[in-house]
Amino acid sequence: MEQLQAFWSSMPDPSGIVIHLGVTLAILVVGWTVSNLLGRWMRHIADRSPRIDPTIVPMVRSVTVWSVRIVVLLAVLARLGVQTASLVAMLGASALAIGLALQGTLQNFAAGIMLLVLRPVRAGEFVSIGSQGSGTVDEIGLFMTRFVQADGIQILLPNTLVWGSPITNYSRNKTRRLDMMLGVRYDDDLDAALATLQALVDRHEDILADPAPQVMVMEYRDSTIMVNIRVWALAAKYWDVYFDLHRRAPQALRQAGLRSPIPLREVQSIPAAAAGAKAAGA
């Protein structure tokens, strides 16, 4: 009887265990909730502040949220009686082994850091990544960069491909040059064509006056003189100017009395007698 009483007295208090587990669970839930709220708060502040580059927001948010969560998990394990010092040492050794096994993933992470530090691309810019494709940068993540093509299709590229490929950035500069080729017939008035096109680009509301618009003869083909229109426009207005010039330039030439160029071939008719004499002489 005395042994049974000693056994029950050595058992921990059930109510104390429940309270201990409840506090531990509360720490986990509150810490996880705080990490989510902190991530949302950071995104909200970045959206409202023009001084914060939206490119760095996703990565900074992820690092912050998971840093808080790791601290919460360590606090929960310490609350449960786990020796966190030995756990941290074990995690360090495991991280080394995992790092060796996941070299490609860590390379993507390092490439993401370089993309954020040097900023060859930023969120909202239209870029072309070598032979990988082109699109508007939507987000630079820890391991992947997300692009949206002009047709709305989403592309996800590992950061190493983005960092290791030639990057053509169409949005970084405020202005872009536009070149457009038009054909003029040899028997039409070339000076009139040049003057008509020059007047068109000079009065166009979206074409910049500096650098000055140019209309030049570029080359001579079999039946057409090729004229080049070279103008500058704001990067945001580039495609508007591109499509508008392709619509209005041929109309302006037709209104000036110039005809559309078509391939021409000169055909000579040889009389039958001349052809027969030529054949006999041969």
Which CATH number fits the domain that encloses residue 125?
2.30.30.60
Domain shared by 133 and 213, yes or no: no
> Which of 68, 85, 112 is the endpoint of a domain?
112
What pLDDT shows up at residue 115? 87
Is position 6 within any domain? no
Q: What is the largest CA-CA distance in the chain?
A: 143
Which DSSP state fits 261? Answer: P
pTM of the model: 0.61
Domain shared by 75 and 99, yes or no: yes
* pLDDT band, residue 162 (cuts 50/70/90): very high
Domain that holds residue 218: 175-256
Task: Indicate if the pLDDT at residue 1 is higher than 90.
Answer: no
- What does each C-alpha distance from 16 to 23, 83, 173 come to in angstroms? 11, 21, 66
Taking the C-alpha atoms of residue 261 and residue 9, their distance in angstroms, rounded to an integer, is: 106
**What is the arithmetic mean of pLDDT over 48-72?**
72
What pLDDT shows up at residue 11? 44
Domain shared by 147 and 201, yes or no: no
What pLDDT shows up at residue 53? 60
Closest CA to 181 of 230, 120, 247, 132: 230
Which DSSP state fits 260? Answer: P
Is position 280 within any domain? no
Domain shared by 106 and 44, yes or no: yes
Chain segment 105-119, per-residue pLDDT in tens: 778 888 888 888 888
Judging by beta carbons within 10 Å of its beta carbon (0-12, 13-18, 19+), is residue 162 exposed, middle or buried? buried
Domain shared by 161 and 183, yes or no: no
Is position 275 within any domain? no
**What is the arithmetic mean of pLDDT over 199-210?**
93
Is position 281 within any domain? no
What pLDDT shows up at residue 229? 95
**What is the arithmetic mean of pLDDT over 16-26?**
72
* Segment (H or E) for 227: strand 224-234
Is position 199 within any domain? yes
Domain shared by 77 and 126, yes or no: no
* pLDDT band, residue 4 (cuts 50/70/90): very low
Using the CB atoms, write b or e for 31-69: b if 16+ within 10 Å: beeebeeebeebeeebeeeeeeebbbbbbbbeeebeebb
Kindly report the average pLDDT of the chain as a whole number. Answer: 80
Neighbour order of strands in the sheet with 175-185:
175-185, 224-234, 214-220
Structural domain tally of the chain? 3
What pLDDT shows up at residue 273? 60
The tokens for 145 are 């960069």
Domain shared by 58 and 90, yes or no: yes
What pLDDT shows up at residue 109? 82
Taking the C-alpha atoms of residue 224 and residue 263, their distance in angstroms, rounded to an integer, is: 8
> Which of 67, 95, 112 is the endpoint of a domain?
112
Domain shared by 20 and 61, yes or no: yes
Bridge partners (DSSP) of residue 135 are: 127
Q: Is-contact 168 127, C-beta < 8 A? A: yes
Is position 206 within any domain? yes
What pLDDT shows up at residue 43? 74
* pLDDT band, residue 274 (cuts 50/70/90): low
| 195/68: higher pLDDT | 195
Residue position matching structure tokens 């160029």: 261
**Hey, which bits of 100-221 come out as E strands?**
126-129, 133-140, 144-148, 154-158, 167-169, 175-185, 214-220
The number of angstroms, rounded, from the C-alpha of 24 to the middle of its chain's C-alpha atoms is: 44
Which amino acid makes up residue 270? I
